[in-house]
Amino acid sequence: MRAITALPALAVWVFALPASGQSGSSLGMVEGSVCPDNSHAIFHACALEAAETATPPRTPEGRPDFSGYWLRRAWAFESLEAHPVTPDDFGGPSAVVDPADGRLPMQAWAVERSRINAEQYLHHNAACILAGPAGTMYMTSRFQFIQDATHLVMVGEQLTTHPYRIIPLDGRPHSGDIPMWNGDPRGRWEGDTLVV
């Protein structure tokens, strides 16, 4: 099993790759993990410790190779934070393990914008619109990562939208002042850590 810890802004969540030969039909269930599967916080702490001595597969350039199919430990349609089961959602515990309270560390302006959006607009799931990078990573699907020396591509199986994200790794500048639904990601390596 390989684990990756993603760090969007100040929040952390954990994904796990199924063992070799394991199908993705058991979404989120990983066999043979060295870490217990009883809570996000416990799994995260264990995964960070295991990562210290992990020897990930390498690309020909010597970088960690993320290529393959990835599943998350938990999923839901509505929130990264803890939320109840509803008719259109599986519900679940918070996937955020840092900070320890399980809540996304949003600035005051973002909390207000979120409140206004919830009142004025249809939820993105109502029209099968992409949820954006953070929401897409928590949907009920798996991802295929395709990697070479200059790009990491993430392809999802989310509902009917099949989101993808192309992350250039070659040091190119951002595209300028062109608003994009999924942002304008750029990646760089800091040792064995991919920073996006």
In the predicted model, what is the mean pLDDT of residues 173-179?
84
pLDDT at 100 over 50: yes
In the predicted model, what is the mean pLDDT of residues 165-193?
88
Q: Which of 9-23, 78-92, 131-145 has the lowest mean pLDDT?
A: 9-23
HEC sequence for 55-117: CCCECCCCCECCCEEEEECCCCCCCCCCECCECCECCECCCCCECCCCCCCCCHHHHHHHHHH
Q: b/e map of 17-28 (b: 16 or more CB within 10 Å)?
A: bbeeebebeeeb
pLDDT at 173: 93
Query: Which tens digits make up the pLDDT trace of 22-79?
Result: 443 333 344 456 676 666 667 777 877 887 787 888 999 999 998 988 776 555 556 6
Residue type, 29: M
pLDDT at 50: 80
Q: How far apart are CA 78 and CA 57, in angstroms?
A: 34
Query: Which tens digits make up the pLDDT trace of 139-175?
Result: 666 778 899 999 999 888 765 667 788 999 999 999 8
In the predicted model, what is the mean pLDDT of residues 71-92?
66
What percentage of the chain has pLDDT greater than the value 70? 60
